[in-house]
Amino acid sequence: MKTLVFINSNHFAAKASLEVITYAKKLGGEVVAVTYGSQEGADQLGAYGASKVLVDNSLTVADEQQITKLVASAVESTGATTVIFSHDLVAKAVAPRLSVKLKAGLISGAIALPETGNGFTCKVNVFSGKAFATVSVKTDIKIISLLPNSIQPENIGGSAVVESFNANVGASAIKVVSTKKPEGSIPLPEAELVVSAGRGLKGPENWGMVEELATALGAATACSRPVADIGWRPHHEHVGQTGVAIRPNLYIAAGISGAIQHLAGVNGSKVIVVINSDPEAPFFKAADYGVVGDAFDVLPKLTEAIKKFKNAN
Amino acid sequence: MNILVCISKSPDTTSKIAFTEGNSKFDENGVQYIVNPYDEWYALVRALELKETIGGNVTIITVGNAGDEAIIRKALAIGADNAVRIDAEPTDAYFVATQIAAYAKKNAFDLVLTGKETINYNGSQVGGMIAEHLELPYVSLASKLDVAGNVVTLEQEIVGGLQVVEVNTPVVVSCAKGMAEQRIPNMRGIMAARTKPLEVIAPESIELFTQYETYQLPDAKKACTMIDPANMESLVELLHNEAKVI
């Protein structure tokens, strides 16, 4: 049995990439990774279980139609029977295309390893995080798109052979005119710790204390929908039904009441801390730890306590 | 501009989620169905705006049973010109996408729009699958869409940012927040919707790729532990020793 894992270009050290390699290794059998662009650093996937990394160096940028051809060609050349993606924005466009191209059933948004005792089933999130479903795949080739933060990467100390792989994917039909990428921030869906704030913060000038707590923790920052809508914070920070859905280990929410649409984006978090001055805020019902208090008072105190903890450990 | 908008029904966002028949089926008891918000607010409304500025026709299509007529009429009341219902139970994304692609192949559309995902299955699969069936480019999670001649300019979310892309029609696009604002149908729209054409077509026979076997609700959350706002050290201690997240 062989498993093929797609890795985003130049993402060999990204946690999401190591997660999918670890996941593939746990399926048993040989793990081959496929990517494009530079092969520098590709060998580090070996430590997590890949025995081979195929790199299409002829491509530097690729659209999802080209990536689909690349992965399909790697499936053909390796004879892989399972294909794994990290469920990110690239995979959301590539995995469905590949499903049609290879006539392979797709499990989108898996949160656990598949069960293979009786058929092939896998657990996914449904109803915007309000339920789980067990989905079976009937086709010979199976595709799984794994939600980030579903498995811890495990360094098992192996090594990988890096090979050039030219899939001849043709030209792109999509012309990229411009790209805007904020520098240095952790992509929200991959962050393990997230500090988020809402209208309770009263204005964008007060975000300093949110950022200070996030810095002390090594966390990413997020916000609620109204805050993104009025332009206090950039749209990519908006978590919730219409924004980004995240499932970090720790989600700290200050000044967010916890509307059902907000919960839909964060209810997969392992631990939720809610700070709100209103003891009746619905968010407390979904929280593990609650602090009834003024965010302006509580956030700096929490930052101090975190700093003290970090210094002592 | 000839536009096809794919719509799906989904339970109202405030619906109670429960399951029946040995947890193998969604419990529809008391559930109000709506047009999936991403399909309605973003894909359908943007299609109507384009039609209003450059002219054309907006067709909506859904895969579902006769009971879905209510959401089809709602979409027609908002302003779509005509509707197609493929008469089948939408078992999984591949089934739905393959049915829609078969219809789209027989009718020349310049744009095929979907919502970014449904709020019940959250798979984000149908758009990409249709594009592959039609061998067309696919722009996913677009937050802006403009058309000049046969060039479509889109803004889309990418990992950690945004990008602007250009692509020639025909193209498949999945629509996310930012593309348009919700429209409430007016009385004239509701009246007109009653007589707009709704074509019901038989499904193609399609191989089963995946099956939703069982459903499960998350474990009940234990009660929230309240912390004294003056004692953040105790919260840090609990996050470290009890929750083990820092």
**Section B87-111 average pLDDT:** 97
Fold observed for domain B2-215: Rossmann fold (3.40.50)
Amino acid sitting at position B160: G
* Mean pLDDT for chain B overall: 96
d(CA A10, CA A19): 15
Q: Which two tokens stand for residue B206?
A: 């399609």
d(CA A85, CA A17): 9
Q: Do A108 and B125 touch (CB under 8 A)?
A: yes
Residue to test with chain A: of B17, B210, B238, most A Cβ within 10 A: B210
Residues of A with Cβ-Cβ distance to B235 under 8 angstroms: 273, 289, 291, 302, 305
d(CA B210, CA A125): 15
The residue with greater pLDDT, B161 or A14, is A14
pLDDT, one tens digit per residue, over A42-96 is: 999 999 999 999 999 999 999 999 999 999 999 999 999 999 999 999 999 999 9
Residues of B with Cβ-Cβ distance to A185 under 8 angstroms: 160
d(CA B210, CA A142): 10
pLDDT, one tens digit per residue, over A146-196 is: 999 999 999 999 999 999 999 999 999 999 999 987 655 677 888 999 999
Q: Do A236 and B161 touch (CB under 8 A)?
A: yes
Percent of the residues in chain B that have a pLDDT greater than 70, as a whole number = 100
The whole-number pLDDT of residue A98 equals 98
pLDDT, one tens digit per residue, over A195-230 is: 999 999 999 999 999 999 999 999 999 999 999 999
For A86, residues 6+ apart whose C-beta sits below 8 A from its C-beta are A8, A16, A17, A19, A20, A145, A146, A148
pLDDT, one tens digit per residue, over A299-309 is: 999 999 999 99
**Section A107-121 average pLDDT:** 95
Q: Assess contact for B168 and A173: CB atoms under 8 A.
A: yes
Residues of A with Cβ-Cβ distance to B215 under 8 angstroms: 126, 131-134
Residue A248: pLDDT above 90? yes
ipTM: 0.95
Burial class (CB in 10 A: 0-12, 13-18, 19+), A173: middle
Q: Is B242 left (phi over 0), alpha (psi -120 to 50) or beta?
A: alpha
Using 50, 70 and 90 to split pLDDT, how confident is the model at B207?
very high
Distance from CA of A270 to the nearest CA of B (A): 9
Domains of chain A: 2-164 (3.40.50.620), 188-312 (3.40.50.1220)
Residue B11: pLDDT above 90? yes
* Mean pLDDT for chain A overall: 95
Q: How many CA atoms lie within 13 A of A226 on its CB side?
A: 12
Q: Do B246 and A236 touch (CB under 8 A)?
A: no
Using 50, 70 and 90 to split pLDDT, how confident is the model at B242?
very high
Residue to test with chain B: of A291, A301, A307, most B Cβ within 10 A: A291
The whole-number pLDDT of residue B220 equals 83
The whole-number pLDDT of residue A185 equals 65
Q: Assess contact for A65 and A96: CB atoms under 8 A.
A: no
Nearest CA in chain B to A261: B13
The whole-number pLDDT of residue A184 equals 58
3-state secondary structure at position B117: coil
Residues of A with Cβ-Cβ distance to B43 under 8 angstroms: none
Using 50, 70 and 90 to split pLDDT, how confident is the model at B158?
confident
The whole-number pLDDT of residue B2 equals 98
**Strand-pair partners of B128:** none
Q: Do B214 and A134 touch (CB under 8 A)?
A: yes
Q: How many CB atoms lie within 10 A of CB B44?
A: 28
**CA-to-CA separations, A215 to B98, B167, B182, in angstroms, rounded:** 47, 40, 37
Nearest CA in chain B to A279: B226
Residue A117: pLDDT above 70? yes
The whole-number pLDDT of residue A242 equals 86
3-state secondary structure at position A27: coil
Residue A30: pLDDT above 80? yes
Q: Assess contact for B8 and B95: CB atoms under 8 A.
A: no
Stated as kind and residue range, the H or E segment containing B235 is: helix B232-241
Q: Do B119 and A130 touch (CB under 8 A)?
A: no
Handedness of CA A10, A14, A19, A22 (dihedral sign): positive
Q: Do A108 and B93 touch (CB under 8 A)?
A: yes
Using 50, 70 and 90 to split pLDDT, how confident is the model at A295?
very high
pLDDT, one tens digit per residue, over B197-206 is: 999 999 999 9
Nearest CA in chain A to B234: A305
pLDDT, one tens digit per residue, over B36-85 is: 999 999 999 999 999 999 999 999 999 999 999 999 999 999 999 999 99
Residues of B with Cβ-Cβ distance to A290 under 8 angstroms: 224-227
Residues of B with Cβ-Cβ distance to A16 under 8 angstroms: none
